[in-house]
Chains A and B, each alone.
Chain A
Amino acid sequence: MRILILGLIFLFGSLSNLALAAYPDQAIRVIVPYKAGGGTDSIARGFVGALSKAAGVDVVITNVNGGAGSKGIIQVMKSKPDGYTLLLTGSTDKIGLSTFRKMPFKSIGSLETVGGIYTTPTYVLAHKDRGYKSLEEVIAKSKANPGTLIAGIGGKFGAHDVLANAVNGYKNAGFRIVAYDGGAALKKATIANEVDICIIHSPVLLNEVKAGLLNVIGTGGSLAKITYPPIQKTKTLREMGIPADVGVTRGLWAPKGTPKEVIQKLEKFIAEAANSDEFKKFGNNFGFAPRYYTSSQFLDLLKTEQAVYTDIKGKFMSK
């Protein structure tokens, strides 16, 4: 009897292993929690071609926008943990939601990380007509006339907002922070010279920087990998005495409970796709060379970013 039971367990185990061995045998769905056409969506679309080649099955993007990017995340949380539904979003976009709002998910732990594929710091731009050469210069000017200089950001409670508040907080800079409705609106305001400084994810507006219309005057992280050498050595905020490393790393998550074997396979596919020539080519054209993070590296990164957010929120953003 016992042998029979053991035999059955063994048989069942090997059968489920067989099923796993077949993974993936159908299309993988990648949920992007934003509308088509934005930064995260563009990067996702640049990535899924390579991922599809690595996995050997179709990879389809579904845009689930709404709830400031929370609905897509929740949808993935509720999906079957079989490796056929994944989330692709920005690290700090997700952290911003759970840090500043009441959300049914945590920054870390509600989903399994499976790898980071593209990391870019948030940087600070100024229109050439303003004549600013460095962020320190603008901060000094703003300090002298508090509340008169405008720092444009792409939305409340995101990386832009955290960076703006860190600058104001640590340097007592007194910028008037104006939140625009998304990156496209901020882009327009910046090109039209409506704001004194623009805080936005690199490499957005890089072509305007190359054309000499905008200057890069500071950055929340190293720009060494940006595809425009003259700005690669831009001074970081940390070097200016503002300990706020702010950026965004686009990465992938799987629902909690996804079998280890599936996660391992996914990690392999993602590594292969992130390091593929195809994705590198996309990155170079997009303006920033991709950098791959294994899932544990990605998890560490999330922890660091979470700490920065909690710190800045506690110090300067919890009025």
Chain B
Amino acid sequence: MLEGLIGGFANCFEPFNLLLLFLGTFLGLLVGALPGLSSPMAIIILLPVTYSLEPLPALLTMIGVYVGTKLGGSFSAILLRTPGTPAGACTALDGFPMAEKGQSALALGYATYASFFGGVTSWIIAVTCIPFISGIALKSSNADIALIAIMGLVMVSAFTRGSMLKGFIGVCIGLLIGSMGMDRTDAIERFTFGSLDLLSGVPFAAALVGLFGFAVVISDLSLMKSTSELVTTKFKIELPSTFDFLKRWRAWSIGGFFGSIIGAVPGVGADGATWLSYGTVKNNSKNPDAFGKGEPDGVVAPETANNATTGGTMVPMLTLGIPGDASTAIMIGALYLHGLQPGVTLMKTGAEVVYGMLAGLLLAGVFMFFIALGAIRFFVYVLRQHRSILFPFVMVFATMGAFASYNEYFPVYVAIFLGVFGFFMEERGFPVVTIVLGVILGPIIEYNTRVALQVADAQWTTFIDTWPRIIMIGIIVFLVFNEIKQGLIRRKISKQ
């Protein structure tokens, strides 16, 4: 193992490989920072370019992109509130308010530190506990995945301190939107109104860029005439010190832990891990009300979790051939095209590539850290531009993002519709984030609950037949009761 890894590092340190890894990471950051361009998309475009390369350098390029986009995605979430990925959406919650307060450099700095830290933590966990991580990927069955997603959804109620009812309605709307299209178990068409476009439901990317990106542009249009800029004019690049970052140990340790473990669960990955760690950090915070208004912990937690999933997805992909997300699914395809055979035998038949990729995963994290720190100045400069210059770009990128998800216009219309809808919802005090969460987690919960029940022959006891499941049910019950209790206390106070 150690020997293999040392060999892997030696291979990575060949100048050509190192250069490709660096370029991949750079490209990843750029692609991630442009809303709408995603990691799977960049990897698939690179694929033909890498045909002529040896397998390792080709895959190192892809790993660079994969790692880079994880952080890049939060840049756009912080700066423009237009996340390119469900995982980036969580960072927007506190990152964007920080940017509005003129702390964009600080927010980006925290995100960069957190991503680097998350990547390294998960790498160490992944490499030292390969059998453990593969075990999680393999043993987590549909019942566990459903419970993890429900836990994430329940924690959302923490976002809705304003009005529990409005938050609840938001989640329900999200769940309804998420239930559109062909259902994933019985292939029954729901709310498609006979339209083929809606057969696969409301496109994810459209919901994200619509509810976040378009909605924010619409709501800020009234400010267009004012001379104020997207962020305040106070232009000061203030980066967090390492000490500042370390002080937030609670946020990054929770994010790193959740990211590494939940990242390994196929089908939940970064989407679930970021929200769960955000919710947990907020619930454990001394000052939960600061969240959503520009609390740095609210950036650190999801960002650590986001990058910590890279170790969690990479290990099952290399050891079992099980992809954790869309990017790793494409990398499995790339392994075939480069003459390797992904699956349980890859560790034996392609050991050199496997260890090279593991080494590359860590090095990409290091590259990402330095490139991102250097790039913050540039991003902040971009943000200083007037709204009338920035907004067209946000609109163009959001439109591109929606279009590219299906390679056609339908998602663009959906995004525009949801943008207007999201704007009115926010105006009326419904937190848009609850809708987004319902859209993201709803289908995961529904599909996994149903398959779990089918496998268990409709026995609901399947959800309490292992210790992890009992613990998760316990947490869910506790959270629900706690929320109700808090709600009642607040009502009492407001009555007095």
Q: Is the CB of B196 within 8 A of A210?
A: no
**Cβ < 8 Å to B, chain A residues 50-66:** 62-66
Closest chain A residue to B343, Cβ basis: A207
Q: For the complex, is A155 an interface residue (Cβ under 8 Å from B)? A: yes
Q: Is the CB of A37 within 8 A of B47?
A: no
The residue from A70, A150, A178, A192 contacting B196, defined by CB atoms under 8 A apart: A70
| Minimum CB–CB distance for B4 against chain A, Å | 19
Residues A213 and B141 in contact in the complex (CB < 8 Å), given A63-B44, A181-B447, A184-B323 = no
Q: For the complex, is B345 an interface residue (Cβ under 8 Å from A)? A: yes
Q: Is the CB of B267 within 8 A of A185?
A: yes
Q: Is the CB of B455 within 8 A of A68?
A: no
With a CB–CB cut-off of 8 A, which chain B residues contact A106?
none
Residues A208 and B322 in contact in the complex (CB < 8 Å), given A38-B329, A42-B333 = no
Residues A176 and B336 in contact in the complex (CB < 8 Å), given A66-B200, A188-B322, A208-B344 = no
With a CB–CB cut-off of 8 A, which chain B residues contact A205?
343
Q: For the complex, is B15 an interface residue (Cβ under 8 Å from A)? A: no
| Minimum CB–CB distance for A219 against chain B, Å | 19
The residue from A71, A156, A281, A287 contacting B186, defined by CB atoms under 8 A apart: A156
**Cβ < 8 Å to A, chain B residues 318-354:** 320-323, 326, 329-330, 332-333, 336-337, 339-346
Q: Is the CB of B344 within 8 A of A184?
A: no
With a CB–CB cut-off of 8 A, which chain A residues contact B184?
181
Q: For the complex, is A242 an interface residue (Cβ under 8 Å from B)? A: no
Closest chain B residue to A37, Cβ basis: B329
Q: For the complex, is A286 an interface residue (Cβ under 8 Å from B)? A: yes
Residues A68 and B342 in contact in the complex (CB < 8 Å), given A62-B407, A176-B457, A184-B329 = no
**Cβ < 8 Å to A, chain B residues 110-141:** 137-139, 141
Q: For the complex, is A104 an interface residue (Cβ under 8 Å from B)? A: yes
Closest chain B residue to A148, Cβ basis: B457
Q: Is the CB of B451 within 8 A of A188?
A: no
Q: Is the CB of B197 within 8 A of A286?
A: no
Q: For the complex, is A194 an interface residue (Cβ under 8 Å from B)? A: yes
How many angstroms from the CA of A65 to the CA of B323 in the assembled complex?
19
How many angstroms from the CA of A172 to the CA of B341 in the assembled complex?
37
In the complex, how many residues of chain B place their beta carbon closer than 8 angstroms to a beta carbon of chain A? Answer: 48
How many angstroms from the CA of A42 to the CA of B332 in the assembled complex?
9
- Interface bits B174-191 vs A (CB < 8 Å: 1, else 0): 000000001011110000
Q: Is the CB of B326 within 8 A of A179?
A: no
> Which range contains the number of A residues in contact with the other chain?
35 or more
Q: Is the CB of A67 within 8 A of B333?
A: no
Q: Is the CB of A187 within 8 A of B321?
A: yes
Q: Is the CB of A147 within 8 A of B345?
A: no
Residues A207 and B451 in contact in the complex (CB < 8 Å), given A63-B44, A191-B320 = no
With a CB–CB cut-off of 8 A, which chain B residues contact A37?
40, 323, 326, 329-330, 332-333
The residue from B138, B332, B336 contacting A188, defined by CB atoms under 8 A apart: B138
With a CB–CB cut-off of 8 A, which chain A residues contact B139?
192
With a CB–CB cut-off of 8 A, which chain A residues contact B187?
68, 100, 155-157, 179
- Interface bits B22-58 vs A (CB < 8 Å: 1, else 0): 0000000000000000001000100110010000000
Residues A188 and B266 in contact in the complex (CB < 8 Å), given A36-B40, A68-B187, A194-B141 = yes
With a CB–CB cut-off of 8 A, which chain A residues contact B44?
36, 63
Q: For the complex, is B406 an interface residue (Cβ under 8 Å from A)? A: yes
Q: For the complex, is A46 an interface residue (Cβ under 8 Å from B)? A: yes
How many angstroms from the CA of A206 to the CA of B184 in the assembled complex?
26
- Interface bits A203-237 vs B (CB < 8 Å: 1, else 0): 00111101101000000000000000000000000
Q: For the complex, is B464 an interface residue (Cβ under 8 Å from A)? A: no
A selection of 19 A-B contacts at a CB cut-off of 8 Å is: A35-B326, A37-B326, A37-B330, A45-B47, A49-B51, A64-B407, A176-B457, A179-B451, A181-B185, A184-B329, A185-B266, A185-B267, A188-B137, A191-B322, A207-B341, A211-B344, A211-B345, A285-B339, A285-B341
- Top 3 closest A-B pairs, CB basis? A207-B343, A37-B329, A156-B187
